[in-house]
Amino acid sequence: MAITEVIVIGGGAAGFFSAIHAAQAAHTQVILLEAGRQPLAKVRISGGGRCNVTHHCFEPSQLVQNYPRGGKALRGAFSRFQPLDVVRWFNGEGVKLKTESDGRMFPITDDSETIVEALIFAAKKAGVFLRNNVLVQKIERFGSSKFEVILKNGETLVCDRLLLATGSSPSGYAIARSLGHELESPVPSLFTFNIKDPKLHELAGVSVNPAQVKLLIPSLSTDKKKSVRNQLEQSGALLITHWGVSGPAVLKLSAWAARELHDCKYQAKLAINWLHKLKAEEVKQILLNAKTEQPKKFISNYCPVDVSLRLWEYLLDKAEVALEKRWADISHKSIQQIANVLTASEYAIAGKGAFKEEFVTCGGIRLQDVNFQTMESKICQGLFFAGEILDIDGVTGGFNFQNAWTTAWIASQGIIA
């Protein structure tokens, strides 16, 4: 029976970051257990292989607005460790980050391996003992203040502080339950929408920035609709795909409405304003002006609003307006139909798609059961949490990694206190 002071289960961003900082404390032995053959798998694939490390938002009160769940709990946490601290830490490890126009921050190499190598090197330098391909079978309390970590190979490790950084892994949830914790039911967050519209699919690759998207879920009670009204409407870039729609606007909407969409089995209506916040009456006037000013032009060739010609032709077809007509021949009824389609096209959502190879989960350890000053369990002394295992999730843009870095750092400080 091997005895160590700290065991971290989960070799992802949160697990590594907490292990590094805990091990840097004098006389603290740290073992990091990873079930896979390679650690940091999610870091490797994030941001299309570039790793969206964090977001260029250094004001905690603004930062928390990007978390559908957990923002309130993170407010104080971000005042202690925020994106600027992450930038400084990686800079100290020889990794410089850059900021893109939308605020996302990446290593200047545009290669996630840069982040992976920095974390692995820092862990080795700090004396973390990393063990890959190790499956934890169960955890038991040993005496009054120690944990027995029983591995699938029959080996048993003993520690007096245990950190779970297992993300959305069912095995991590099972361990937490065995130690007395209840969970908010895990459901998917950050996903794309499937829409069965072959003509829309033909526009795959066309993007609109910004667009406004709104969910219409008839099954929601009146009270529930009022409480989530702002969450069910988002703005941002929208991308048409060969299965439906994606892009930041859709991903944000899927995150804020993760539970509502899960409850309706991902069968809902989506309204798209292709012209962002323009109202139908405003667009109608733009179209009437086009009719007056360009009467001889074919409607298919002259688009007076800010969408591509391919999308314009598709939307005219959706409004049941013949493409071979000239502007002079367009009736006022047709003008109204086009305005309605431009500002409130409705689509039936028929399920969800994946967001690249990444995934984020809404749900996990109940936040009221965790002390956010230390990330220690209020139910089981000596047990700590970090990262996505908690009921915290952010929208796309580096916010989920920031949750990992922040909760991991705070957990490490709690562990060594």
- pLDDT by residue (tens digit) across 347-363? 999 999 876 545 789 99
CA-to-CA separations, 92 to 58, 80, 88, 96, 330, in angstroms, rounded: 18, 18, 6, 9, 64
Find the range with the poorest average confidence among 22-36, 130-144, 224-238, 315-329: 224-238
For 48-62, write each residue's pLDDT tens digit: 899 999 999 999 999
CA-to-CA separations, 363 to 150, 187, 395, in angstroms, rounded: 26, 6, 14
What is the distance between the alpha carbons of residues 415 and 144, in angstroms, rounded to a whole number?
17
Q: What average pLDDT does the chain have?
A: 94
Q: pLDDT value at position 279?
A: 97
Helix ranges (DSSP H) in 304-383: 309-318, 332-344
Q: Which residue has the higher pLDDT, 226 or 69?
A: 69
Q: For residues 193-208, give the mean pLDDT.
A: 97
Residue 227 predicted with pLDDT over 70:
no
Q: pLDDT value at position 2?
A: 63
Report all structural domains of the chain as residue ranges with CATH numbers, in order of start. 2-187+357-416 (3.50.50.60), 192-354 (no CATH)
For 367-390, write each residue's pLDDT tens digit: 999 999 999 999 999 999 999 999
